[in-house]
Amino acid sequence: MPKSRQDHKSLLKNLIEHFTSCGLEIQYANYDGYDKPFVINRHAPDVIAFDRNAQLGYIGEAKMCSELTDERTKEQFEDFSKKLMRSGKSERAKLPFFIAVPHECTSKIPQTLKNIGLDERDNIKIIGF
């Protein structure tokens, strides 16, 4: 397998490492050693992290290129990008929503978001691994 090719598990590991390197606490992750994330509207995300200083939650979802056009992906992107903090000093703020994808499909994400009407959301961040 070429080095640039990722699988979902390695994408998820990279996303967890990214959040940790930003000083976030991983509260839940769909990964060995963590409690499973809870459902947000219709689906559970891959990672839920927390910034203690800002009192702000973060949502992370890892997607393979082939998953970007799935109906489930569309629902997840809609649900996770709309989530607001319920309490704390960041109450009513939209949670930062990170989408981790393999490098080879980072250029497809803007069109994917545009197709589902989420291209104007400033809380969506794309990370290529």
109, part of any domain: yes
Which amino acid, 77?
A: F
3-state DSSP assignment of residue 49:
strand
pLDDT of residue 5: 57
Nearest to 128 by CA among 9, 1, 18, 26: 18
28, part of any domain: yes
1, part of any domain: no
Chunk the chain into consecutive blocks of 10 residues (it has 129) and report each block's average pLDDT, rounded to whole numbers: 67 98 98 97 97 95 95 96 87 93 94 94 96
Q: 43 is in which domain, residue-wise?
A: 8-128
Give the integer Cα–Cα distance in Å for 62 and 40.
Answer: 16
Q: What is the pTM of this model?
A: 0.92
63, part of any domain: yes
2, part of any domain: no
107, part of any domain: yes
| Number of folded domains that form the chain | 1
13, part of any domain: yes
Asked if residue 50 lies in contact with residue 95, where contact means CB atoms within 8 angstroms, the answer is no
12, part of any domain: yes
Residue range 76-99, pLDDT digits in tens: 999 999 999 888 888 888 999 999
